[in-house]
Amino acid sequence: MNTQDELKIRDMEILFQPFHSRKLDTPTRIVLPAMTRGFSPGGAPTDEVAAYYQRRAKHEVGLIITEGTFIDEPSASPSSNYPNFFGGAPLRGWKKVLEAVHTTDCKIAPQLWHVGMARPFKGENLPNPELPPIGPSGIDVNTLRQTTDPMSAAKIEEVIDAFARAAADAKRLGFDGVEIHGAHGYLIDQFFWKETNRRTDEYGGDLVGRTRFASRIIHAVRKAVGSQFPIIFRFSQWKTGHYDAKLARTPVELEDFLTPLTEAGVDIFDCSTRRFWEPEFEGSRLNLAGWTKKLTGKPAISAGSVGLNREFTNVFDGGPEAETASIEPLVERMQAGEFDLIAVGRALLADAEWAQKIHHSREKEIRQFTKEALQSLS
């Protein structure tokens, strides 16, 4: 091994150092992020789902954030094959997942989710098909046209309470934390975005007003789980189908957005971007996670095509599939302290041993990501 290779291996160790914070410690800095899989018939995770997560936990992943799991509100889910986080069978299934992951030193947190207006009016495997989707202003996320009534005050309270109950169940079962999904154009993000939130009450208006729904959810979750249970909050600028959308166009606006969420009780921000190497604002190389950590002082998870040379949408848009790419730019940013943890999605989906292979210079053995990887729990 030459000197350059030795330096590369030494530098890469930052990915495999433990992460320590006030409420959450992980054995490495690598995170398996939430990725919808759809292998939970009737909303209950199977033994195969437990084995899927355990395989990644055994190979140097430090934190697993589960695929999105639905809160107990009848219109939360678009498919009965996606897992729930309420009811006897789903919670028993998640307990098995938890126990499988905890045979290792990896930590695990469920992601709590409501798709809001991203739920179709009809479709195969649609739970409670007689119910319409719900959202702040009843606006379809794709067309940006109103298709149903805005959420009532009573429905808002119901959803807030459902998030809190799910978080309490996560703590009771023995999970290491909980993530609230506030990204990608789903329900909470529909409140954030001015195009889908045209309310004139306390949940609408300016950017700070549009954070009120999320802030109340976070506050209710904090009350349900106590002061020491970690709350992770996932957010994004982009929305599914609207990849150029922006909640904040300047660092000042981003701080205005993040401050109420921080004050409500977020411990770690999960900052979803499509390409981790892209700067969020002009005049600085910091990405969204870098700015979030700088502005809030909270630990931040970065994400976006790690280990791959093309973004995740490329494979679905008819473009060439992604190939393995160097992670040296990522290592350099982590050494600079720009963010604390890194989410590795498709690369870990395709190869459960990706982290271990990277750590031990076995890059040539890594299985490439293809669309076919989405069709099974390998």
Tell me the catalytic residues: 186
294 vs 296: CA distance, rounded Å: 6
Q: Are strands 178-181 and 107-113 parallel, antiparallel or unpaired?
A: parallel
Q: What type of residue sits at position 288?
A: L
Q: How far is CA 173 from the centre of its chain?
A: 20
Residue positions counted in the chain: 378
Backbone φ, ψ for residue 28 (5° rounding)? -140, 175
Burial 178-187 (b: 16+ CB within 10 A, else e): bbbbbbbbbb
> Computed from CA positions of residues 37, 39, 43, 48, in that sequence, does the dihedral angle turn out positive or negative?
negative
Q: How many other CB atoms are there within 10 angstroms of residue 129's CB atom?
A: 11
Q: Are strands 231-236 and 268-272 parallel, antiparallel or unpaired?
A: parallel
Structure tokens at 92: 């028993």
Q: What type of residue sits at position 355?
A: A
287 vs 90: CA distance, rounded Å: 36
Q: Is 235 helix (H, G, I), strand (E, B) or coil?
A: strand
Q: Are 235 and 272 in contact (CB under 8 A)?
A: yes
